[in-house]
Amino acid sequence: MPGKIDEAQVRHIAMLSRLELTDAEVAEFSHQLSDILAYVEQLNQVDTTDVEPTAHPLPLRNVMREDEPDEPIGVEAALANAPQRAASFFKTPKVIEQDSA
């Protein structure tokens, strides 16, 4: 596992995520992500041979309601807070693939 995330890697991840970061944010995130990797590496050194794997550390259960069909909310209600719409559809910007080179 690499021990340091450099600014080029942060910029690449930002480009893939379509995030615009300032130079200060790139430097800050590079430092923060490197600290996270260092901590994960520290955790990897802990002996867990007698620790049983768990999906979650707490005994949780699903508390959601039953999934029952209901009346749809309707086009006007669904689009009420849409930033842009075209007739009865959400209008979104076109996404164009960008080379990562």
Residue 13 maps to a domain: yes
Question: Which structural domain, as residue segments, surrounds residue 16?
Answer: 7-44
Residue 67 maps to a domain: no
Residue 95 maps to a domain: no
Total domains present in the chain? 1
CA 56-58-63 angle, 5° bins: 90
How does pLDDT run along the chain (101 residues), one tens digit per residue? 457 899 999 999 999 999 999 999 999 999 999 999 999 999 999 999 998 888 888 887 877 888 889 999 999 999 999 999 999 999 988 877 666 55
- pTM given for the model: 0.50
CA 14-43-41 angle, 5° bins: 50
Residue 64 maps to a domain: no
Residue 15 maps to a domain: yes
**How many CB atoms lie under 10 A from the CB of residue 29?**
19
**What are the structure tokens assigned to 77, written together?**
């209600």
In contact, 29 and 8? CB cutoff 8 Å: no
Residue 96 maps to a domain: no
The domain that holds 20 is classified in CATH as: 1.10.20
